[in-house]
Amino acid sequence: MKESELKEIIRNGESSGVEFKRDDIPVQSLAKEIVALANYQGGMILLGVEDDGSISGIQRQNIEEWVMEACRTKVEPEIIPYYETVVTEEGKRVAIVSIISGQAKPYAMLHHSHRYYYIRVGTTVREAGREELLRLFQASGRVSIDLQPVPGATLSDLDQRRLRQYFEGILRQTAPEQEADWCHLLETVDFITPTNGMSVPTVAGMLLFGKKPNRFLPQAGIRAIAYPGKEKDYAAIDDEILKGPLLPLQDERGEGLVERGLVEQAEDFTRRNIGVKAYLDFGRRIEKRDYPLDVLREVIVNALVHRDYSITGTDIMLAIYSNRLEVTSPGRLPNTVTIEGIRRGRRYARNQTLVYIMRDYGYVEYRGMGITSKVIPGMLKHNGTEPDLIEDEYSFTLRLWKERSG
């Protein structure tokens, strides 16, 4: 790094990815900052820089060895950072310790035989709470939220009608009659899990087949809202909280719906709140909706199967504006997944059981590349627009445009 680059970073001040530190701090304080950055998106620690941005310089002898020893003995799993020093024109040295976003989350700081898990929030560092720690485990693939038990739920909270329809109608198997046989079967496919001597529905089982999923998982719904203009407005055209299991209940012949699942509810909402234009094509009346229905379904299903269900207190948001439609899923993309990767066909599954079952029902294509193979080409063919894929610190948004601008 050049001196000019270093000073530009310092002028911009501390941020979520930049921390200033003197080099006389205790080793556990350095490890704490390293852990927080590794559990976040990475960043750099500038040693020899005061909180106010003034450069005091490095005073500690053998500082590189001190940094590496901290990463080896005070961080679990150990991290090898990129280390470099920059000498200013005043002759003061600054050490830059660069930390990448770790793939073995969560990282812990070891101190007195205890593990402490830290996260970075803005320019501050704090110990991770239970839900935050769970999301870190999930981001690394070490914990799958959809396989976790649902506290307070029992086998009776799953809809036997939907379960029977899945095994008999979709899988063409003979469904069991005895409860013990049911428990064995449902445990085999991860719809329930033994917990404290009881058969408890998993998050996946409850989301797919629960009688009232939102009773146990308040975050399991969709907040659907249609606005009259291009911005949020208190005077919404339509506003509804959609609840229920992801899967529908079909009639005995499998030809109609007795109860609509969450996917169908969201489709109904979009149908009644998007425009339809009619025109004649060689004497035939052709109707063209603002957005193609197969693309809308893919966007809705993608949000439902890939959202981070460890985040409570917020639903998936389906928002329709006069010029666009947006579906926002709580939670960042899983570990190592990027926007560019998705555009290039990168497959990922945060909730693998949900993906498998929704694929059995035909909601998810086998290749698992719906955005690449359906959403993007579908919108280009429909009106020449390309969807926006947007990630921020708390969510992932897929935005469809009603028409090309200009």
Delineate the domains of the chain, giving CATH numbers in brackets.
Answer: 3-143 (3.30.950.30), 147-216 (no CATH), 218-401 (3.30.565.60)
Which two structure tokens, joined as six digits, stand for 16? 């979520």
In whole angstroms, give the CA distance from residue 322 to residue 334: 31
Nearest one of 165, 170, 260, 275 to 222, comparing CA atoms:
260
pLDDT > 70? residue 143: no
Task: Grade residue 130 by pLDDT with cuts at 50, 70 and 90.
Answer: confident
Rg, Å, the chain Cα set: 26
Mean pLDDT of 262-275: 95
End-to-end CA distance of the chain: 42
Bridging pattern class, strands 324-330 and 316-320 = antiparallel
Q: For Cα atoms 203, 209, 215, give the angle at the middle one, nearest 5 degrees.
A: 65
Model pTM score: 0.69
- The model's pLDDT over 230-264, given as tens digits with 9 standing for 90+, comes to 999 888 999 999 999 999 998 877 677 889 999 99
In this model, does residue 229 exceed pLDDT 90? yes
Tokens (6 digits) for 56 = 């005091």
Q: What is residue 404's predicted lDDT score, i.e. its pLDDT?
A: 84
Q: Are 399 and 390 in contact (CB under 8 A)?
A: yes
* Residue 393 burial (10 A CB sphere; 0-12, 13-18, 19+): exposed
CB 101 within 8 A of CB 58: no
